[in-house]
Each structure stands twice: as structure tokens, then as C-alpha cells.
Amino acid sequence: MNTLYFLQHYWWALVSLLGAILVFLLFVQGLQSLLLRTASTPQAKDLVCKYAGHKWEITFTTLVTFGGAAFASFPLFYSTSFGGAYWLWMTILFLFVVQAVSFEFRDHAHNLLGARTFEILLFLNGAFGSFLLGVAVATLFSGGSFVMEKTAITDLNEPAISYWTNGWHGLEGLLNPFNLLLGFVVYFAARTLALLYVISKQDNDEGAEAFRNKCRRHFPISAAIFVLLFVVFALWLCLRSGYREIDGTMTEVAFAYWNTLWTNPWILIILLVGVVGVLFGIVRQFLPKGEARNFYWVGGGVVLAVWAVLLSAGFGGNAYFISTHDPSMSLTLVNSSSSLFTLRVMAIASIAIPFVIAYITWAWRHIR
């Protein structure tokens, strides 16, 4: 096997895994989405901020790591998506910045704006931050209105390889039903995980049991919507056409993502195991004394299912970022990756990943 080809797929698998872990960690945003209605009492709001306030750094760090890994391994994707669709990404970044500020100043002694103001900001990050991330991820399949010309780097007046062709710069993605669907899938996944996380806690704080009971009542509705929307998304994805470079020409291929799953059964197995994990955790929630580990069952299933979906975007020769302006300029793993030298050096550095995961696990258990 060609070394460059292997490393391109190796790094797409790692970047996709980071994205999948990020979706799981968005349960922090799901917690914040509970602030305005589900957490209706001061005690419940304090509990939400207690739970989310000790975990949000891990989510934010994973988001930054995801962007950094994408930049190092697929710089053309980074410059095209993050640079071209910057209004979408800047909105997401702004929501995450106000999250950090809100946790810092909500109960600050000299808070002139009041706790309610920062609770609203936390809610906005929780509801719209997760939703917009889902919309942004969906553009891997629906594409964006960009032009990519590698020879443009020699243009002294405007040395930009890629640029956006409209003034919306990513916000037009909010008009695409497929993007909106994945946005809602991610939002309800985050909310479902958040409800499970609260239910799994055994705190004896004032109002804790009443808040857990309220979350138990809200859980079936959120979980049902999440599962239903994900099934619709998965079916839609399998029926979608994609683009692949065939004999040097970017060609539209019917059922491209289903064909990728079918010809790469290990990806299909990951998807099915993830779905089973999600359903097992949800069903187990309705059994007596079945609350302790359901958060991790559903969370693990979400990671595997999202990982499989992201793998299917780039594997099988698919164009993982389609140019709606001119499909021939779409990005694939082959035409958008870093050099062999860069990918090789990064592969050596990736040996440290198990140690990073071990640290995150340690921090997860001890930062409470």
C-alpha cells in the first residue's frame, strides 16, 4: 500500500474520531440547554452549572484539538471551510467564548449584569452551539460554495488557493434542510446525554432529587426525538449522491455513502455497534436500577455512530467537501492533505494519543 495513501486515511480516521468524541462531549452544551426551562429553580440552575462547570474545558479543548488536527493533516480543508465559511465558524467560536466568560462571572462577587444574564448566555451556547456544530459537520456531505485553484498561490495580487463565492460565508448552510436535520440530531443527542448525566448523579444537594425526577420525565421525549431524527438522517445519507474522482474527473455517484459502508464493512459494523449501544442505553434507562451506566452506554454509542458517519465522508474515494459552485473543485483526501513528510512526522507524534486519552480519563474522574 502507498504510504501517503495510508497516512491520508489514517489521519482522516483520527480527525473523524476527534469529531465523534466532540459530539459526545457536547453533553455539556446539553446541560446548559436545560437552564431556562428544565432547571427552573435556583437550586437546579446551580446543579447544572456545577456539573457543566467542571467539564466544559474538556469539550472546548477537544474542539480546538479537532481544528488543529484538521489544519495539520488537511490544510486545504481547514483554509477552505474555516476560512471561507467564517461567519458560521465565528458564530460558533463566539458562543464558546461567552460560555467561558459566563462560568467565570455568573456568581462573581462584582457581577453587575446579574446571574440571569450569564445563564442566558450559557443557554445560547448550549442550544445554538451544539446545533450550529451539527450544521457545520453536515457541510461535509452537502458542500459549500467555494472555488479551489491550487495554481492561484502564485498570484501575487491575491495568493489564495480557495475562496467563497458569496457573501454569506457559511450562513447559507442554514437554508439547507439536510444541514438543519443534522443540527437537530446533534442538539438532541447532547440534550439526551445531558439528561442521562443528571439522572446518573447521586448528589444530595438541596433540590437534587426533584431535579433528577424532572429530568427523568423529560428523557423519553428527548431520546425519542433523537433516535427518530438520527434514523431519518442515516436513511437520507445512504440515499444521497456524492462525488468521487474517477479517471481524473470528479464524477457524481449515486448512493455514494451507502456504497462506502457496503464496501467497507468494518465501518458499517462500527455504525451498527454504535446504534445498538445507544438503543441499549436508552432502553436500559426504563429498567429498575438501570441508571448508573446508561450515560456511558449512550455516549459510547454516539461516539461510534458519529465516527462511522464521518469516516464514510472521506473513505471510499468520496469527496468529503463538495464545491456546490463547481464539483470538479471538491476536496478529497488525496488532493487536500499535507505532504508525506508532514503526515509521517505527525503519525510519529500520534503515539502520544493514548497518554492524552489517559490524562483526559484521569481529569474526568478527578475534576468534580
| Number of independent structural domains in the chain | 1
Classify residue 365: in a domain, yes or no.
no
331 strand-pairing partners? 321
For residue 250, give the H/E element and its range. strand 249-253
* φ, ψ dihedrals at 202, nearest 5°: -120, 35
Give me the sign of the Cα torsion angle 285, 290, 295, 297. negative
Cβ pair 15, 63 in contact under 8 A: no
294 HSE (CA, 13 A, CB side): 27
- In DSSP notation, 302-357 reads HHHHHHHHHHHHHGGGB-SB-BSS-GGG-B-HHHHS--HHHHHHHHHHGGGHHHHH
pLDDT of residue 367: 67
Position 88, amino acid:
L
pLDDT tens, residue by residue, 193-207: 999 999 988 777 777
CA distance 145 to 221: 36
Residue 327 has pLDDT above 80, yes or no: yes
Mapped onto helix, strand or coil, the DSSP state of residue 69 is: helix
**Of all residues in the chain, what percent carry a pLDDT higher than 70?**
95
pLDDT at 117: 84
> Is a pLDDT exceeding 70 seen at residue 157?
no
| Integer-rounded Cα radius of gyration of the chain | 21
Please give the DSSP secondary-structure letter assigned to residue 253: E
Percentage of the chain modeled with pLDDT above 90: 46
Please report the sign of the dihedral spanned by the C-alpha atoms of residue 218, residue 127, residue 267, residue 323: positive
Whether 216 maps to a domain, the answer reads yes
Q: How far is CA 255 from the centre of its chain?
A: 24
How many angstroms separate the CA atoms of 260 and 262, rounded?
Answer: 5
pLDDT digits (tens, 9 = 90+) for 162-194: 778 888 888 898 999 999 999 999 999 999 999
Whether 219 maps to a domain, the answer reads yes
CA distance 48 to 10: 38
Domain that holds residue 147: 3-360
* 170 in any annotated domain: yes
Q: What are the grid coordinates assigned to 367, written together? A: 475534576
pLDDT at 238 > cutoff 90: yes
Give domain status of residue 302, yes or no.
yes
Residue 169 pLDDT: 85
Per the domain annotation, does 41 fall within a domain?
yes
- CB of 325 closer than 8 Å to CB of 45: no
Is 102's pLDDT higher than 90? Answer: no
**Closest to 319 measured CA to CA, from 239, 262, 245, 233:** 245
In the predicted model, is pLDDT for residue 368 greater than 80? Answer: no
79: DSSP letter: I
221 pLDDT band, cuts 50/70/90, is: very high
What confidence category does residue 131 fall into, taking pLDDT thresholds of 50, 70 and 90?
very high
Distance CA 211, CA 206 (A): 10
- Report the interhelical angle of 3-25 vs 56-73 (nearest 10°): 160
The verdict on pTM exceeding 0.85 is yes
Cβ neighbors of 194 (< 8 A, separation 6 or more) are 27, 28, 29, 30, 31, 33, 34
pLDDT over threshold 90, residue 158: no
**pLDDT at position 354:** 82
366 part of a folded domain: no
Strand partners, 162: 148
Closest to 256 measured CA to CA, from 303, 183, 207, 320: 320
